[in-house]
Amino acid sequence: MDRETFHTCCSLVKIPRQSYEQFRSSHFVDYIEKKDFSYSRFFKNYLLPNHPCVFSKRFTEDWNCRKHWVTETGKPNFQRLLQDFEESPVPVANCNAREYNANPKQILPFKEFISYWREYMQNGHSSPKGCLYLKDWHMQREFPEHNVYSTPVFFSSDWLNEYWDTIEVDDYRFVYMGPKGSWTPFHADVFRSYSWSANVCGRKKWLLYPPGQEEYLRDCHGNLIYDVTAPALQDKGQYPHYEKACQPLEIIQEAGEIIFVPSGWHHQVYNLEDTISINHNWLNGCNLDIMWQFLQGELSAVQREISEWRDSMDTWHQHCQVIMKSCTGIDYGEFSSFLKIIASTRLSFLNGCSGTSTPGCPRHLPDTLATLGPHHAAFDLQRVAHILECMLSNEDFLRLDPTSLSSQPESLLQQIRDAMRTAL
């Protein structure tokens, strides 16, 4: 981040989201062709305003997966993939089955999925087994030595995976492989994070709705539509607000291209050809406020659901946090730990601690902080400080047992304020 961008952001308490009106009347999205496009331009034009864009295939042309996983005709190279991953267990969804608002998954040996895929293609893209889709495979975590791609700098300020790497529990980096016709139902990404998705081969069709439009796509019971192309949406009795919804932003993503999906943009995705893609969920200081807003909404939904037991349970508030974590994947206590880890690394960085000696820091992270620079680290700390202030005025957060927190937010907030006075 350059100095000018940092000073522009310095005065931001609440990040202003520009209007999404342009996406309600236009089906065009910005296309970034040249590799000399700067991080600062991406930050100002897309991250902060929360707008989508597409990067050309030039940004992935050096990836090993595009060289080795794809045949000369642009199809998946099954022979090479089997050579690398034959016995690996992989998660496979059935696109023809529905389980709540998603597709049920099973774990299969990779070679069994490839055998199915070959048969599916030979049978004119049909199978009595249904349309199977390998998705949410943590390939990079399981095979880090393969080095099949590198995260573009535009998406490198990635707090979500930084946190999970630090505690060595999970990550949100995935490989998807699916035949023509496989698809993902309508949804928004985990914690309302950003996502980026790169097609190694094949083509996808994306249908995206700006934040807020999903409210018009709920049925009379408040449930979100499963398929935004379903005729049922035309039933006013079942979907009374659908006519208020805008038309989706439709994007055809070609082989090698990367799409940036902003926070809270609900979307539905189709594989138009046999397709392999790399997908990351990620968040940072630009959408941290959206995540905090989402978590508050999730807790409120839990509280409404079990409100009848509020007066009869001494531990009602704690139970709400437990239920929230089981449904959402995180509670207020872990969110506090998340902020602590993100802030601590940047405090060490700004204090001049060399990357290799930063305690508890993932090996790749010092290079990322050095690339983005001290102004970006300072911006990150500003955003953490703002959310900590919000949390310290939130009644539900203040009800947490202080001894259950890995750090005290007041102390962390003071550390950030002290550092910011002398950092830049």
Q: What tokens were used for 133? A: 């889709």
What are the tens digits of pLDDT across the range 386-406?
999 999 999 999 999 998 888
What are the tens digits of pLDDT across the range 64-104?
999 999 999 999 999 999 999 999 999 999 999 999 889 99
Helices H / strands E in the chain, number of each:
15, 13
What are the tens digits of pLDDT across the range 109-162?
999 999 999 999 999 999 999 999 999 999 999 999 999 999 999 999 999 999
Q: What tokens were used for 114? A: 């490839």
What are the tens digits of pLDDT across the range 281-326?
999 999 999 999 999 999 999 999 999 999 999 999 999 999 999 9
* Residue 397: CB atoms within 10 Å: 21
Tell me the C-alpha to C-alpha distance, in Å, between residue 311 and each of 305, 308, 316, 318: 14, 7, 8, 13
d(CA 271, CA 253) in angstroms, rounded, equals 10
The closest of 185, 178, 227, 228 to 203, measured between CA atoms, is 178
Please work out, in degrees rounded to the nearest 5, the angle formed at the alpha carbon of residue 172 by the alpha carbons of 19 and 118.
105
Whole-model pTM? 0.93
